[in-house]
Chains A and B, each alone.
Chain A
Amino acid sequence: MHNSEEFKIPFGPQHPALKEPESFSVALKGEKIMGVDIRLGYNHRGIEKAAEERTYIQDIYLIERVCGICSHAHATCFIQAVEEIANLVVPKRALYIRTLIAELERVHSHLLWLGVAGHEIGFDTLLMYSWRDREVVMDILALLTGNRVNYGMNTIGGVRRDIDPEQIQQTLKAVDILEERTKYYIEVATQETTIIKRLSGVGVVSYDDALRLDAVGPTARASGVKRDIRADDPYAAYAEISFDVITDDHCDVYGRTVVRVKELMESYKIIRQVLKNLPEGPIAVRAPRMIPAGEALSRYEAPRGEDVHYVKANGTDKPERVKIRAPTLANIQAVKHMLKDRYLADMPIVIAAIDPCFSCTDRLVSLSHIDSRDKKTITWPELHQFSIEWHKQQGIDFTQLNKQLEERLKKC
């Protein structure tokens, strides 16, 4: 291929460099990226729609599964909105336990990211070490919540499990080990030449651009934007806890690494304060099954950035609408900007540096005709009709089942 000619190559949906499938179309001139077209939607799972058809209690577990890593983040964010609509006053102890799990989750997420970032730049030794140390926090999460991932710790009106003094001791011990290890990772991140050379100047997004493109979380903070919901709009117990918002002015992937490893230290600080000041009292209040009509928007600082949930209730036991804005969606525009005029080889690490979670982000699929690239909007009933006919063509008839479904819907 001639260097002067521009050509397009698909990157994904299935690509060895991406842990999750997502489709990028890269315009290249030689090795240089001229532009990136991101087509979200490959992982669309219809979670928002599914949430409308389940009760609030069932939704907790569904929403928890929006993301396997920030599961507590999504569940808490959703529950906060529901609690606001229902006017529930959550006991202090519950808020502290939520904060504790949230920070443990951040620790496990950042350690996981550190490993993935190492892997993307061919530094697999780092992956092995950080994932080994991540097991310490995973064990603590399993001990406290009863699950390694998707903890199921939250319920509307509080938390489902209390923690006892012995668990507090074990958590503190684990935090000591992790802190020791994190100090070492800070050393690695700031002194190891492999990391500094490979990550400096890669995926640059300036302070102004980070603001303009609405970057969130560590991506924004690494460009010097002091943006952290825990400090800006405190939820759970964050208002009573002192911690620093870590920022960095490198504005590149290196800066994002530094922000994340330093944030780990802040998380340990928060965990220690929570465990020390854990108030006595109940861990939950009784929540009604029917949530009164109303709407609420809730924000939460997930490990990847600001997570936003909107819930609209109509007085029944099922929400009328749930809208989720995962942090990756906010950061994805910045990725486009970061990749422009860079080399193709930087693409995996630049994408990985926002710690993307594509399944959480995909809220819609857009299908265009393969030849004409025509797009059109179809309504829900049309889609329904289309699916029935499509299945009929495949020899599956849903008429009988549909009748049953309609009868059931009528009853509701």
Chain B
Amino acid sequence: MLREVLGSIFKKPATNRYPAQKLDMPDKYRGKLKFYPQKCIGCKLCMKDCPTGAITINKLDEKKFEALIDLSRCIYCAQCVDSCPKKALEASGDVELAQLDYKKLKVVFRAD
């Protein structure tokens, strides 16, 4: 053990200098969701399968939908991504989601 301890004195720290040095998330990491309103057909399968009720799809107009995602409820399981028949949802590698203002955790995606 002593050898290991002495050896470690000269190694660089195992921790990263966050936030100066950002973490690289692997490809296909399940972070914040992305929604493509053009692709959505409003079948609401994502809402049905979401374990936490974090996602809500609202109809705005004929063939126009918006997605409301409550990031504080979402558990980033990406089941909605799997359930969506039109690939209108996608998980992004964005993991820096901490907010001081609770309201900012409710995100609306809408086609404009």
Contacts and interface: CB of A to CB of B under 8 A. Distances in A.
B72 interface: no
A387 interface: no
B30 A152 contact: yes
B38 interface: no
Interface string A134-165: 01000100110011001010010000110000
Contact of B14 (A132, A147, A150): A132
Interface string A178-214: 0000001000100010000000000000000000000
A147 B4 contact: no
Interface stretch (A5-13, A55-63, A241-249, A395-403): A55-63
B9 interface: no
Contacts of A152: 30, 77-79
Contact of A54 (B1, B26, B51, B82): B51
A125 interface: yes
Interface string B8-28: 000000100000000001101
B76 interface: yes
Nearest to A155: B82
A188 B1 contact: yes
B34 to A, nearest CB: 14
A61 B25 contact: no
B49 interface: yes
Given A146-B28, A146-B30, A61 B1 contact: no
Contacts of B49: 55, 57-58
B29 A142 contact: yes
Contacts of A184: 4
B8 to A, nearest CB: 8
Contact of B91 (A55, A142, A146): A146
A129 interface: yes
Interface in A47-91: 54-55, 57-62, 65
A65 B77 CA distance: 11
Among A59, A135, A146, A188, find the residue whose CB has the most chain B CB atoms closer than 10 A: A146
Contact of B77 (A55, A59, A61, A139): A61
A77 to B, nearest CB: 18
Interface residues on B, range: 20 to 34
Contacts of B83: 57
A146 B14 contact: no
A364 B46 CA distance: 33
B75 interface: yes
Interface string B27-59: 011100000000000000000111110000000
Contacts of B75: 61, 65, 150
Contacts of B82: 155, 160
B98 interface: no
Contacts of A139: 26
A125 B1 contact: yes
Among B26, B48, B49, B76, find the residue whose CB has the most chain A CB atoms closer than 10 A: B26
Contacts of A188: 1
B5 interface: yes
Contacts of B29: 142, 146-147
A125 B6 CA distance: 12
Contacts of B14: 132, 135
A58 B82 CA distance: 13
A65 B50 CA distance: 15
Nearest to A147: B30
Contacts of A150: 75, 77
A94 B25 CA distance: 25
A99 to B, nearest CB: 21
Nearest to A57: B49
A65 B52 CA distance: 12
B51 A146 contact: no
A62 B25 contact: no
A142 B76 contact: no
B26 A61 contact: no
Interface of B: 1, 4-5, 14, 25-26, 28-30, 48-52, 75-79, 82-83, 91
List the 6 closest A-B pairs by CB distance, nearest first.
A146-B30, A58-B51, A61-B51, A143-B26, A152-B77, A132-B14
Interface of A: 54-55, 57-62, 65, 125, 129, 132, 135, 139, 142-143, 146-147, 150, 152, 155, 160-161, 184, 188, 192
5 contacts: A57-B51, A150-B77, A152-B79, A160-B82, A184-B4
Given A142-B29, A146-B78, A161-B28, 17 more contacts: A57-B51, A57-B79, A58-B49, A61-B79, A132-B14, A139-B26, A143-B26, A146-B26, A146-B28, A146-B91, A147-B30, A147-B76, A147-B77, A152-B79, A184-B4, A188-B1, A192-B1
